[in-house]
Homo-oligomer: A and B are copies of this chain.
Amino acid sequence: MTTIKDVAKKAGVSTATVSRVLNGDSRVTPPFRKAVLEAVEALNYQRDRTARRLRAKVSQTIGLIISDIQNPFFTSVARGVEDEAYNNGYNLLLCTSDEDLQKERLYLDIMLAESAAGVIISPGSEQENTIEPILKAGVPVVVVDRRVEGAAVDTVMVDNFESTRQAVGHLLDLGHRRIGFVGGPPQVTTARERRAGYERAYCDRGIELDPDLIKASNFKLTGGYTATCELLENDDPPTALFTANCLTTLGALNRIHERGLAIPQEIAIVGFDDMPWATSLNPPLSVVAQPTYELGRKTAQLLFRRIKDRNCDVMEVRLKPRFIVRDSC
């Protein structure tokens, strides 16, 4: 491996000068600069990031901790984060927490041990504040998609409450009275807020709500499937379904097709989260479309803002989802 010493020798300068040129120090005189750059070029020299990180405390990797890399929502967020990181010359240390707080804490420790420049996390629990240690250590953190109670941390979310209220309201206005709600884990912010939006839509119209139509799930395909099984077995089954994230939507569709029910004639369905293939489904799905990619980019932007100025004001950003009516309701 060629090191800064090799470059210094080749250029006939000290390693200090090489370092200064590499860091864009304006004091270095043009001829010196030229010599260094030529040597760098000739030797195809690349700075060792590890040494730089150790000495200068500058890191070019940011940590991204999400619960599931196979969830298309997080995948799209991750893509937004990655593009923004790329534009800023950063890389991604990607970790999957699996909604496991133990694993989440482990990965947060690793971010510290790796001297990550910053961390983006979608935390597994609203009540358990796992990020406090890393915040205390002075690492810039931005929380995405979910909230952490009592932590002074930048947060980027979507307006779950209003958008669900609107979508469920739409179903009610179409005449549906029994709308099954396939929700998520109660400790997750988005699950809570979307459920609240569902309840509010009923309340807005003074329509009574049957608590038997509300199911929790693990926010995965299997959970959506199981919850839908239960809902459809109700003596007075729902005429419509609101599924609270993309994976539960797919699980619900699974069961609906298995039962051979016609959408939307026999059962209408609206899902939270658009998917690239929502229009490939038959019929095309009506959805509450989150600006997932933008969510990722915005989150990364807030992180870079804080990396540049650790003391900037703490922000909470709420992006607005869009309710897209297609043919499933």
Min distance, Cβ A222 to any Cβ of chain B, angstroms: 10
Which one of A9-17, A50-58, A122-130 is at the B interface? A50-58
Within 8 Å of chain B (Cβ to Cβ): is A82?
Answer: yes
A76 closest partner in B (C-beta): B70
A327 closest partner in B (C-beta): B257
In whole angstroms, what is the CA distance A276 to B277 when docked?
Answer: 13
Given contacts A92-B95, A95-B91, contact A114 B50 (CB under 8 A): yes
In whole angstroms, what is the CA distance A78 to B95 when docked?
Answer: 11
Min distance, Cβ A61 to any Cβ of chain B, angstroms: 7
Q: Which residues of B contact A257 (CB under 8 A)?
A: 279-284
Min distance, Cβ A160 to any Cβ of chain B, angstroms: 23
Q: How many copies does the complex hold?
A: 2
A109 closest partner in B (C-beta): B46
Tally of A interface residues using CB under 8 Å: 47
Give chain A interface residues in 103-120, CB to chain B under 8 Å: 107, 109-110, 112-115
Within 8 Å of chain B (Cβ to Cβ): is A1?
Answer: yes
Q: Which residues of B contact A284 (CB under 8 A)?
A: 257
Given contacts A61-B114, A79-B70, contact A93 B96 (CB under 8 A): no
Min distance, Cβ A4 to any Cβ of chain B, angstroms: 13
Given contacts A48-B115, A109-B46, contact A276 B69 (CB under 8 A): no
Within 8 Å of chain B (Cβ to Cβ): is A312?
Answer: no
Option from B54, B70, B107 in Cβ contact (under 8 Å) with A276: B70
